[in-house]
Amino acid sequence: MIQIWMFVFLHPLTLFILPTVVCIYAIIDEEKRARSQYNLSKTKTLRVSDSIGHGVRHISSWNVEQRVEEYLDMLEDKKKKQNLPN
């Protein structure tokens, strides 16, 4: 039993392995947290041979036009609220 504790606390490679494992876990956890907080989902990549040579294209998972329209509606509502007499 003492030999196992000596390996964990005194082995020089432990100083390199444990911080690496902790860093990898922290990076994976941070990605999961950011995806859940900002409601991100993985984008699928289409591999299309393009004559111009643009390479890999990404498809967005949300509609940009819809988001812009929602934002403009929100701005109009905000202006209407400011212009209403009290």
Tell me which residue range forms the domain holding 15: 2-61
At 2 the pLDDT is: 75
Whole-angstrom distance, CA of residue 60 vs CA of residue 6: 52
In a domain, 86, yes or no: no
In a domain, 48, yes or no: yes
Whole-angstrom distance, CA of residue 73 vs CA of residue 71: 5
Whole-angstrom distance, CA of residue 44 vs CA of residue 67: 20
pLDDT tens per residue, range 28-58:
999 888 888 877 776 655 555 555 555 555 5
Whole-angstrom distance, CA of residue 72 vs CA of residue 65: 11
In a domain, 72, yes or no: no
